[in-house]
Amino acid sequence: MDPVKNPYCPGAGTPPPELAGRDALRESVRVAIARLRVGNPSKSVLMVGLRGVGKTVLLDQMRNDAEAIGVHTIRVEAPEGRSLPALLAPQLRVALLRLSHVEKAKDLAQRALRGLAGFAKALKLKFSDIEVGLDLDPEPGLADNGDLEMDLAALLDAAGRAAKGGDTALVIFIDELQYVEEAELAALISALHRCTQQRLPVCVVGAGLPQLRGRAGNAKSYAERLFDYPEIGPLSESAARQALVKPAEHLAVSYAPDAVDRIVSETRGYPYFLQEWGKWAWDAATESPIDEKDVEAASAQAVAALDESFFRVRFDRMTPMEKRYLRAMAELGPGPHRSGDIAATLTRTVTAIAPLRNGLIGKGMIWSPNHGDTAFTVPLFDEFMKRIMPGDDWLVA
Ligand SMILES: Nc1ncnc2c1ncn2[C@@H]1O[C@H](COP(=O)(O)OP(=O)(O)O)[C@@H](O)[C@H]1O
Ligand SMILES: [Mg+2]
């Protein structure tokens, strides 16, 4: 099939040709935001799931949905090593400047901009990465104590009042939220709590790896009441079919039924893998329908492509010892695994490898579904580890 027309698009955060299987969640978040906007309470949302399940594209879609009903949004991605205040400040500024052009919100938005000025000045010492343009002078006493938890609460309160004044809501979209430091996460949760108590139209729609839920609970015990935690997983069988078939259908290309079955089973319904398989199957086929032998040719290429990109980027960030730890996990199968079993595979004690495990959790490679359990955050990573470190040399390293 013409590669120029190939509709599939594997890639982190790349919007798919068909966002399959997420309508119900999209709708529930749309309703939650619309409720907030008319002054009704609703919960913030933290979407949790493994790498490649489609959290980022869903987050962006939800943001578009919110903007479409006139809600003000900001969008940040928490990379490792940058502070939350530094990420939020410039985005908040843009949102507040926009709100300051709404006649009814103008004065309150300007007050919030003063709050932002005080916030940035007072926290600059602690968070030297804060860089934000200041439009107005600070108002003494507004968000300028130098204590993140107090100041962020005051700032979001002021921003929420401006949004309310403009008959709108402010929704903060945050991706990769698991990377935010616990104290900063605590401050964010506490600020949201205050907005909820004041019935201000502010909420967070966040996304992150599965450890996020535990991190939020550790940061503030009442996080459980403030958030919904929808789990984003592989697509159901029918949604996975749709993700493959619909984009082709739009281009008058069909699939033989066994070809679709084969892709759904090889990818286990994981969105990233569906895009990769769809892409290679399309290129392998010479005519419609795409059949099973096209898929067979595609499988080898899809696996190779994943190994070189999706899996590889994570692998390359690991130290040699971390690679051994992950390889030992893979030896035990897909997981989750008991820490004791992993330690035994490496002929070490649980205590000796605990720092290694913590480091891997920090890097977002593994997580702990239950106390003492360890699982990969990347689907099918065990199979990749066996491909990239075959044999048993790793045991004696
Ligand atoms: N619902 C979906 N249907 C089809 N493809 C999807 C869907 N969600 C995501 N994808 C595709 O999966 C890949 C990974 O999406 P991404 O949002 O980056 O995942 P995550 O943020 O969970 O790691 C992208 O190529 C995207 O186009
Ligand atoms: Mg993502």
Q: What confidence category does residue 350 fall into, taking pLDDT thresholds of 50, 70 and 90?
A: very high
Say if residues 41 and 369 touch (Cβ distance below 8 Å): no
Indicate whether residue 236 lines ligand 1 (CB < 6 A): no
Indicate the pTM of the whole model.
Answer: 0.95
Say if residues 394 and 324 touch (Cβ distance below 8 Å): yes
Which residue among 63, 209, 272 has the greatest number of ligand 1 atoms within 8 angstroms of its CB, and so is best to mutate? 272
At residue 81, does pLDDT exceed 90? no
Protein residue whose Cα sits closest to atom 15 of ligand 1: 54
224-244: average pLDDT: 97
Indicate whether residue 166 lines ligand 1 (CB < 6 A): no
Structure tokens at 264: 């759904």
Mean model confidence pLDDT for the chain:
96
CA 269 to the chain's CA centroid: 18
At residue 11, does pLDDT exceed 80? yes
Say what the pLDDT of residue 397 is: 60
Structure tokens at 136: 């107005």
Protein residue whose Cα sits closest to atom 6 of ligand 1: 271
Say what the pLDDT of residue 61 is: 98
Say what the pLDDT of residue 395 is: 84
Say if residues 7 and 253 touch (Cβ distance below 8 Å): no
Say what the pLDDT of residue 393 is: 86
* pLDDT tens by residue, 275-317: 999 999 999 999 999 999 999 999 999 999 999 999 999 999 9
Structure tokens at 156: 């979001």
Q: Which atom of ligand 1 is nearest to the CA of 22?
A: 1
Indicate whether residue 267 lines ligand 1 (CB < 6 A): no
Distance 49 CA to ligand 2 centre (A): 9
359-378: average pLDDT: 95
Handedness of CA 245, 46, 213, 129 (dihedral sign): positive
Indicate the length of the chain as a whole number.
397
Say if residues 173 and 12 touch (Cβ distance below 8 Å): no
Indicate whether residue 240 lines ligand 1 (CB < 6 A): no
Q: Which atom of ligand 1 is nearest to the CA of 15?
A: 27
Say what the pLDDT of residue 313 is: 92
d(CA 153, CA 166) in angstroms, rounded, equals 20
d(CA 112, CA 138) in angstroms, rounded, equals 9
- Which residues, in sequence order, are CB contacts of 24 under 8 Å at separation 6+? none
Percent of the chain past pLDDT 70, that is, above it, reads 100
Indicate whether residue 9 lines ligand 1 (CB < 6 A): yes
d(CA 209, CA 380) in angstroms, rounded, equals 15
Q: Which of 249, 301, 44 is nearest to 160 (CA)?
A: 44
Distance 59 CA to ligand 2 centre (A): 9
CB count within 10 Å of CB 67 equals 12
Helix %, strand %, coil % for the chain, to 5? 55, 10, 35
User: 74 pairs with which residues across the strands?
Assistant: 172
The per-residue DSSP string of 260-290 comes to HHHHHHHHTT-HHHHHHHHHHHHHH-SSSSB
Helix, strand, or coil here: 5? helix
d(CA 394, CA 327) in angstroms, rounded, equals 8
239-245: average pLDDT: 98
CB count within 10 Å of CB 144 equals 22
First to last CA, the chain: 47
At residue 396, does pLDDT exceed 80? no
* pLDDT tens by residue, 89-131: 999 999 999 999 999 999 999 999 999 999 999 999 999 999 9
Protein residue whose Cα sits closest to atom 25 of ligand 1: 10
**Degrees, nearest 5: CA angle 179-176-65:** 150
C-alpha to C-alpha distances, 346 to 90, 340, 375, nearest whole angstrom: 46, 10, 16
Helices (H) and strands (E) in the chain, counts: 17, 8
- Cis amide linkage into residue 247, ω under 30° from 0: no
Say what the pLDDT of residue 165 is: 97
Say what the pLDDT of residue 387 is: 96
Whose structure tokens read 């090889």? 266
Indicate whether residue 271 lines ligand 1 (CB < 6 A): yes
Indicate whether residue 57 lines ligand 1 (CB < 6 A): yes
Say what the pLDDT of residue 80 is: 82
